[in-house]
A and B are shown apart, each in its own frame.
Chain A
Amino acid sequence: GNSVTQMEGPVTLSEEAFLTINCTYTATGYPSLFWYVQYPGEGLQLLLKATKADDKGSNKGFEATYRKETTSFHLEKGSVQVSDSAVYFCALRGSSNTGKLIFGQGTTLQVKP
């Protein structure tokens, strides 16, 4: 079945540091891939997405490239801010019409001033 594996957290960085959160997936066919962010006490917000191989999703300085050859969708940001502190979830959607998402376990990012 489909699955998503994220690097374990927490990840602690200083402001302006470079961020990478690894995400790999297992899926049949050609899934879509997503990164969601969850701030404390809130629901999930879509951060970025990619729907086919070699697509790059980007938003708010975050980027992720859909790599079919390595089945990966790593999240990167060149310079993190304290306000980026949150939990990040990688997710995939398979080919069913119901749009069911398979989530990774989440990675907590803490950015210190």
Chain B
Amino acid sequence: DAMVIQNPRYQVTQFGKPVTLSCSQTLNHNVMYWYQQKSSQAPKLLFHYYDKDFNNEADTPDNFQSRRPNTSFCFLDIRSPGLGDAAMYLCATSRSGRSLGNEQFFGPGTRLTVL
């Protein structure tokens, strides 16, 4: 089945130690998104890639970076995690285009713990 895969499902890191979360997709979608979701809150968009074009949200801290080496993979790098970065990180994909009905497909998420 076509899907969005996130690894690992659970990640524990230490305060200030860089960490990378990965996302892959078999849907061949050209848009990929990274969201941060804290407990009992809606997902918050960090950035997205439209093909190779990176689009950062205005309020995303510089501590968060992303890479998309090819259509299928996208990485979220947190350069110096703080305690406030502990959250669920969700990857999503969608097709672009004028059809407003193109929904986003979400992965299962990576739960990040910062010690």
Contacts and interface: CB of A to CB of B under 8 A. Distances in A.
A46 B108 contact: no
Contacts of B111: 41
Interface residues of B, number: 30
Contact of B104 (A51, A101, A104): A101
Contact of B45 (A44, A93, A100): A100
From DSSP, what is the main secondary structure of chain A's interface residues?
A: loop
B109 A99 contact: no
From DSSP, what is the main secondary structure of chain B's interface residues?
A: loop
Contacts of B104: 46, 99, 101
12 contacts: A34-B103, A43-B6, A51-B101, A93-B103, A94-B100, A97-B50, A97-B97, A98-B48, A98-B55, A98-B96, A103-B43, A108-B40
Interface of B: 4, 6, 31, 40-43, 45, 48, 50, 55, 90, 92, 94-109, 111
A49 B103 CA distance: 8
Interface of A: 30-32, 34, 36, 41-46, 49, 51, 89, 93-95, 97-101, 103-106, 108
Given A51-B100, A99-B94, A99-B102, A43 B45 contact: no
B103 A43 contact: no
Given A93-B100, A100-B48, 8 more contacts: A31-B100, A36-B106, A97-B97, A97-B98, A98-B96, A99-B95, A99-B96, A103-B43
Contacts of A105: 41-42
Contacts of A100: 45, 48
B26 to A, nearest CB: 15
Nearest to B98: A97
A46 B4 CA distance: 13
A83 B93 CA distance: 27
A30 to B, nearest CB: 8
Nearest to B100: A32
Contacts of A101: 45, 104
A43 B40 contact: no
